[in-house]
Structure 1
Amino acid sequence: MRFATDPATCVRWPASFGRRFLVTVDVEEEFDWSRPFSGAARQVAAVAALPAWHVAMRDRGVAPVYVVDHPVATDPAAAALIAPLLTDGSEAGAQLHPWVNPPQVEVPGELASFAGNLPESVEAAKIDELFGALTAAFGRAPRLYRAGRYGLGPATLRLLAGRGIAVDASMRARFDYRDHGGPDFTGVDGAAFRTVDGVIELPLSVVYTGLLHRAGRWLHPVATRVSRGGGVLARTGLLSRVPLTPEGTPLPDAVRAIRRAARDGARLLQLAFHSPSLVPGNTPYVRDAADLAHFHRWWGGVLDALERHGFAPVTLDEVIRAV
């Protein structure tokens, strides 16, 4: 399924909103990303690293949104670690990993890992189970949703609207997951917009940089169909596609992307990562202590760059009220 930004539906932020950024964290189980999807992968030990990271963010005025999935919400120890963080603007959103979220009636696999590919009744039942678990764990229904693996489908936004979700944050701007059976977001440019179902979409921020950045929307998808085409463009400084995440994005690239976003008039950026990256060995991005030190330095450098270019932190509540 293809999604695209319609300029007519883009949110018109009030002048008082300024330039802002939101940080979301996929709070989820640890699993081997190279192995088949399994409903038994429910270990959530890495959640214990969240409070220390949260304190560092709060010291910089950032109120993260913790996008929590079923294994975390239903683990009493993990939920007890997260609950004290949900103050001063931080709150818990919902993240659906179908392979570990009841009812588990589908055959696990890559296609079924995108919840939007499931029959509507199954996707709806999984959403209801997740929302119920989050409400029981934290005393409040979620207001923001993310489909794991960015797996939106034709019914998802309508299902969310009917359950009171104000904001969806499932679209990863500029990325195409069709080769894996998922959706295509190459037509999504990163600006917040109103969906036909009334839910506000806040895409994860991905910025084109380089001499040919203005042609990125059509040039990058064409180049990546050619062997090593995207790499050649990036190495020559002509065009890079830069996700605003510490997972796989070098700090200098992120700083250049923030500068470019400011020059292009971006009003709201969304930065994100997966909570297992806070403990070495859980994700390909943080394999050892050196990688973890680099991860924390990335946040320091990026927060400095955001401040330098006039982006201030925002809470989810402030976003909803501004819309």
Structure 2
Amino acid sequence: MSPAPWPAAVAPPTGPRFRWPADFGTRFAICVDTEEEFDWEAPFDRASTAVTAIRALPDLHRRFADRGVPLTYLVDYPVAATAESVDTISALLEDGRSAVGAHLHPWVTPPHDEEVSRPHSFAGNLPPALEGAKLDALGAAIEAGFGRRPRIFRAGRYGMGPATLRLLAERGYVIDSSMRSGFCYTSEGGPDFRHVGNHAFRAGPGGALLELPLTTVWLGVARSGGAGLYDLLGRLPRGRGVASRLGLLDRIALTPEEMPLPEALRAIDQAIEDGVTLLNFSFHSPTVAPGMTPYVRSVEGLARFHRWWTGVLDLLERRGVRPASERDLVTAANAPALAVSA
């Protein structure tokens, strides 16, 4: 089965900036890509479905709960189909504010009708009927395990495609968070998000979905050059490193994975100054179990991970940026009178 990627030079469409409720304020959300563990350096493997890292989530959850911060666990099929993982996460949801959503890794989600390959790791490259069937299997597993239908979705590897938003809308999803502002995956057969900014917008047929891009901030005196300049620097030997050291341009995503704390703090301040209403943070659940991802290899690395969050949450608190739960986001998305602004 051959992939059907985005047509050349075509990227996911964006829409007018979403108008949040007047009392929403500036908020932040943390969505955790809650998934199986696998070798990040190896080819995709349909048999890699272990979810032992889920056992590390209660300690992580307690740290955020102690700060009054809800988490949204975007669970994929191996997690939702494993009773121990469901029991662990269900206990975390008893805080009354955290929630589950959906996260699609197509290579470990039935039906297994496609060849496992790098292009097919982007679910949006699959025929729409197969992508939809995988969404159905994932949604059914989440509903069976957690007793609730997911309302927020993120494509694994940010791999949305031309049919994804329609398929989500048909299945009752309210929010999509598959677009990673400022990043491009076309070299691997995936989508191009270089044109996507940090502001939420209506997406899908008739604006049925609220799109929440993952927040990426450009820093430096040449930040107005954004993705275009970043791409140009990438064609020069050590161009991006030189630009960073000179204070010209940095691309900072709001994640503890490979993003140093000082730069993340600067990015948060800049995003607030830019008027971004919702700062959208993310990370992968196996990262909190040392050795499971490239981002945390040791106990010392996990301590740095937690210090990153302490610094970030301290800054957000000082700046008066409150956390937003999944319920807060869905309530805002369902407010028709506040649809969009220019």
**Same structural fold, with TM-score higher than 0.5 when normalized by the shorter chain:** yes
> 1:143, 1:166 within 8 Å by CA — same for their partners in 2?
yes
How much does 1:94 deviate?
0.4
Cα offset, 1:190, TM superposition:
1.3
Is 1:36 matched up with 2:43?
yes
Are residues 1:16 and 2:23 paired?
yes
Within 5 A, what are the aligned runs for 1:113-124? 113-124=121-132
The residue that corresponds to 1:250 in the other structure is: 260
Residue type matched to 1:99 in 2?
W
Give the match for residue 231 of structure 2.
Answer: 221
1:72 aligned onto 2:82: no
Q: How does 1:74-153 map to 2 (within 5 A)?
A: 74-87=81-94, 88-153=96-161
Give the match's secondary structure for 2:161: coil
Deviation at 1:161, TM superposition (A): 0.1
Residue matched to 1:296: 306
Q: Deviations over 1:96-140 (max 9, x none)?
A: 001100011111010010000011111011000000000000000
1:270-309 equivalent positions in 2, closer than 5 A: 270-309=280-319
For residue 50 of structure 1, give the secondary structure of its aligned residue in structure 2. helix
Q: Normalising by structure 2, what TM-score?
A: 0.92
Q: What is residue 192 of structure 2 aligned with on the other side? A: 184
Q: Which amino acid aligns with 2:302?
A: L
TM-score normalised to structure 1 length = 0.97
Aligned length: 321
Contact preservation (8 Å) 2:183, 2:193: yes
Q: Judge conservation of contact 2:14–2:203 (CA < 8 Å) in 1.
A: no
Give me the whole-angstrom Cα distance separating, in 2, the residues matched to 1:322 and 1:300.
Answer: 28
Q: Give how far 1:223 is off.
A: 1.9
Please, what is the CA RMSD of the aligned residues? 1.1
1: CA distance, partners of 2:25 / 2:182: 24
8 A Cα contact 1:4 1:185, kept in partner: no
1:200 aligns with 2:200: no
How many Å separate the matches in 2 of 1:5 and 1:119? Answer: 22
| Separation of aligned partners in 2, 1:62 and 1:229 | 38
Structure 1: which 5+ runs fail to align?
Answer: none
Give 1:227's aligned amino acid. P
The amino acid across from 1:123 in the alignment is E
Asked whether the 8 Å contact 1:258–1:309 carries over to 2, the reply is no
Seq. identity, %? 51
How far apart are 1:170 and its partner, in Å?
A: 0.7
SS in 2 for 1:273: strand
Which whole-Å CA distance do the structure 1 matches of 2:63 and 2:312 have between them?
13
